[in-house]
Structure 1
């Protein structure tokens, strides 16, 4: 990598790659990976400097996951070479790549044994003592030593399932260090973390860097990238398109390289919702339930009302109560001018109340079904006659939603799990838009979504609001709320603290309310 300035080339360029840089931890040259007729990577070449943090950027589907799997030994390349600290990788399996070359990965789906102890997870396969009779005492001692290096003070005998997600990630890091990890790959490590948990991870990364560990870091979050990374590499459509030192580029330039075009700068909504005298689409009075109580607000047609709050604020539980997934304990709801107090998910669909949940894989995707079946799942009855689905009309409706949301799929019959995260999220959104909702509830609408798909989702939501749809949007991403919404309802410890006009709000003012540092305003 040229450390003095940017290196940029079009994907698919065929100029011969430079030889590996002897000062780098990892060098990839001409890396290609084919899956049948599909080319996931083509002629990728770049270097990862030793002892520094390199960010790997790209839209979902750019080839990042395939590249990481090759580097971690989870799959071999179809062509090209990988060199780690000057030694070529010849055997592609995780155990060999870690033991021989010191490369480990912290994946998005953590591979821990939840009912085993911390010590058993950290030292599995490298237990002190004999092969058949590991020493429990020495396992506990060694685990304490490794955890202390990460500033973790935990009971090595505690089951992993008792730990929060952020701590489980650190256990995976400790497990990697126990096996001599010198190159640590982190794949979207903050996607499911709170800001405080992310800061804890960032402190660990700084500590590992100071100790000489090389890190390759994948994230869609530009503020994180420009806070942490020393170098930036960009993939697009399976090819390597740009390389910079962090100081040599900007977030806008990095995004443009990722998506192959300039994205318009999103700002707060300039178009305001309609006449406040119009009856609300959703009227909530004194709503109480699990982790929230006494919540009151109105949501007007054409308005996007944000919901902000810390993880324990009750904002997610509020959404589930409104949709009927959780049983409330008090209060009243009016939906599209009619009382709606006996709420349940089936009735909500019939009443045109849509809900896109925050946990896409666990709560949103129908993982055994196709793209078209996922999008059309709630409209089967509308396209049925005498118990038989009118397949042509059903497929046409699903394809229309996919087109409106620019879902990138080879066919509507393709498995939903084969799509990128951004396209999966758009498919889930399309399922709920297919019922022609009067009110749309969203929880974390762009979690785990790349910058290009995020822009497309924003465009669609803003267009829906302009057409009169009432949208309630909960998000832990404050810039997202400041971009999309007209007003923001801030919750703290289960109570509505205030509803603020987005045009007058800042991240700091919202956090002041969410943390209880400011007095509550009258609801």
Structure 2
């Protein structure tokens, strides 16, 4: 029997960013001709270790070998020369170029005069999509494509490099079920040719079908590597959640009295997602949206906030049907959205705390074309005190603040509009646990003050700490509404262990939603 050969061997990999240890002495071995799943929750270190392998990041400690040879330098060029290709989760496509130009970007064919041969790129791209058995026009501009075709273009770009190691980071997020099946058929062909495939996904039903072995990371550390036959879904979830630090388990959940219906959605659909979503948010309630990337959570928030139009269904606020065609309509109806992309959509980093804090209420405090500086200072100082924003002065640039305090400025900006309905999209992403706990306490306080709060988060422990009910979504549809109390184990008295048990139950419900979605689509 032939001993399997290691296509990738990463040993003792450690990596820190600004004092935060993203990877701590991690080992990863992937064999030739296997599909190796890489699993873990948000912040587990999956993307970081793959970027080390791909040369995007340089490891602080450890060694990287590809096909038995130490990687010659921590650069994407060195990784590519060694035969490593990666499909990035945060797509690396250029929207103003065609599909074919993107697939062969920096690797273009040249004609006899040394000029780029676009016709050759089109022919080669067509051949790749024919192998995948999917329809994507190589001549189309990427900016004109839907999410699924962009994802297929990203995959084609990785495949086109004829790599010996292919890394796929959440490749099926925007794909239809039929396209996922075609992708799996093609991956099995690559595997038969000896290509090593590293497959990252939160979709455990996919992992169980395509992977031979899996490695699970948690909090930047290696937990287990095992054959898939030894890793059932419950076992994987147990390893992913594990025994974490106290974190949110120390946050006391103040009970609130649920009031009248504040926001009602009846069969609401957006341009792409969501699809036929209905729910009711009450005064004094925190409602969470749970689901994987591509489940439609943020798209639903954008429809409610008027960033994208509702194409079907009805939205009612305080029992009255409303038409929300723009963000200004939403603000006028008492709806505010704190977006996920804080740095690009939430703040102007070079401007002061005060300028950012009053941005959403400029119309209210401007008279005769001039901003009332006294009112601006009063609003800013009130929010700094209310949210415990740590800044030397209201006149300091927001860019000088920590991530947690920048997020508080974004929340303060929208609280200044005095909304009845506050939507928070990934409110604690990229900030420390202390600031996370402060924001969760603020969410509970807002509910106790009679607001309705909608929280979108990929961090399930955050949803379980903040929310009274949780709506599980998959593929743009509402799957199941869960009462937070129903996820508790009444026999578990340790708060930390109780939170972990609830997180495992919620993980299982999210996986069930995916399975139900696939069954529905055949």
After TM superposition, the score normalised by the length of structure 2 is 0.63
Separation (CA, whole Å) in 1 of partners of 2:429 and 2:186 = 22
Matches within 5 A, 1:62-73: 62-73=44-55
More helix by share: 2
Q: For residues 459 and 160 of structure 1, do their structure 2 counterparts lie closer, same or farther at Cα, with a shift above 3 Å needed?
A: same
**Residue of structure 1 in register with 2:388 after alignment:** 400
- Is 1:89–2:71 an aligned residue pair? yes
Separation (CA, whole Å) in 1 of partners of 2:449 and 2:45 = 36
Matches within 5 A, 1:327-476: 335-336=317-318, 345-346=327-328, 348-349=330-331, 352-357=334-339, 360=341, 364-366=345-347, 368=349, 376=357, 386=374, 389=377, 393=381, 396-397=384-385, 399-400=387-388, 432=414, 437-441=419-423, 468-471=450-453
**Residue of structure 2 in register with 1:76 after alignment:** 58
**Residue of structure 2 in register with 1:406 after alignment:** none
Separation (CA, whole Å) in 2 of partners of 1:32 and 1:294 = 45
Within the candidate set 18, 23, 46, 2:5 is matched to: 23
Instruction: Render the CA deviation track for 1:67-124: whole Å, top value 9, x for unaligned.
Output: 333211224334432110101112232223212x111121233223333333333234
- Is 1:54–2:36 an aligned residue pair? yes
Question: Does the CA-based 8 Å contact 1:481-1:488 persist in structure 2?
Answer: no
Separation (CA, whole Å) in 1 of partners of 2:155 and 2:22 = 28
Matches within 5 A, 1:502-521: none
Separation (CA, whole Å) in 2 of partners of 1:371 and 1:50 = 54
- Is 1:171–2:153 an aligned residue pair? yes
Separation (CA, whole Å) in 2 of partners of 1:462 and 1:195 = 38
**Residue of structure 1 in register with 2:83 after alignment:** 102
Separation (CA, whole Å) in 2 of partners of 1:203 and 1:460 = 48
- Is 1:240–2:221 an aligned residue pair? yes
**Residue of structure 1 in register with 2:492 after alignment:** none
Which secondary structure does the structure 1 equivalent of 2:388 belong to?
Answer: helix
- What 5-or-longer segments of structure 1 have no aligned partner? 1-20, 265-270, 403-410, 518-523
Report the alpha carbon displacement of residue 354 of structure 1 after superposing the two structures with TM.
Answer: 2.4
**Residue of structure 2 in register with 1:186 after alignment:** 168
Separation (CA, whole Å) in 2 of partners of 1:329 and 1:215 = 40
Matches within 5 A, 1:302-341: 302-303=284-285, 322-325=304-307, 335-336=317-318
Question: Does the CA-based 8 Å contact 1:233-1:242 persist in structure 2?
Answer: yes
Separation (CA, whole Å) in 1 of partners of 2:516 and 2:224 = 40
Question: Does the CA-based 8 Å contact 2:12-2:63 persist in structure 1?
Answer: yes
Separation (CA, whole Å) in 2 of partners of 1:512 and 1:39 = 35
Q: For residues 79 and 331 of structure 1, do their structure 2 counterparts lie closer, same or farther at Cα, with a shift above 3 Å needed?
A: closer
Report the alpha carbon displacement of residue 360 of structure 1 after superposing the two structures with TM.
Answer: 3.5
Report the alpha carbon displacement of residue 513 of structure 1 after superposing the two structures with TM.
Answer: 12
Report the alpha carbon displacement of residue 508 of structure 1 after superposing the two structures with TM.
Answer: 12
Q: For residues 172 and 211 of structure 1, do their structure 2 counterparts lie closer, same or farther at Cα, with a shift above 3 Å needed?
A: farther
Separation (CA, whole Å) in 1 of partners of 2:173 and 2:150 = 14
Which secondary structure does the structure 1 equivalent of 2:139 belong to?
Answer: coil
Separation (CA, whole Å) in 2 of partners of 1:348 and 1:301 = 17
Question: Does the CA-based 8 Å contact 2:379-2:416 persist in structure 1?
Answer: no
Report the alpha carbon displacement of residue 319 of structure 1 after superposing the two structures with TM.
Answer: 5.7
**Residue of structure 2 in register with 1:252 after alignment:** 238
After TM superposition, the score normalised by the length of structure 1 is 0.63
Which secondary structure does the structure 1 equivalent of 2:9 belong to?
Answer: strand
Separation (CA, whole Å) in 2 of partners of 1:148 and 1:440 = 47
Report the alpha carbon displacement of residue 28 of structure 1 after superposing the two structures with TM.
Answer: 1.7
- What 5-or-longer segments of structure 2 have no aligned partner? 250-254, 366-370, 391-395, 487-508
Matches within 5 A, 1:167-316: 167-190=149-172, 204-220=186-202, 225=207, 228-229=210-211, 230-236=213-219, 239-245=220-226, 246=228, 247-248=230-231, 249-256=235-242, 259-260=244-245, 274=258, 279-282=260-263, 299-303=281-285
Report the alpha carbon displacement of residue 182 of structure 1 after superposing the two structures with TM.
Answer: 1.4
Instruction: Render the CA deviation track for 1:328-363: whole Å, top value 9, x for unaligned.
Output: 899997645889768864575476422345x64698
RMSD: 6.0
Separation (CA, whole Å) in 2 of partners of 1:282 and 1:364 = 24
Report the alpha carbon displacement of residue 280 of structure 1 after superposing the two structures with TM.
Answer: 3.1
Separation (CA, whole Å) in 2 of partners of 1:374 and 1:201 = 49
Which secondary structure does the structure 2 equivalent of 1:82 belong to?
Answer: strand
Question: Does the CA-based 8 Å contact 1:40-1:63 persist in structure 2?
Answer: yes
Instruction: Render the CA deviation track for 1:20-49: whole Å, top value 9, x for unaligned.
Output: x98321112233445676655444333223
Question: Does the CA-based 8 Å contact 1:352-1:437 persist in structure 2?
Answer: yes
Q: Count matched residues.
A: 465
Q: For residues 272 and 211 of structure 1, do their structure 2 counterparts lie closer, same or farther at Cα, with a shift above 3 Å needed?
A: farther
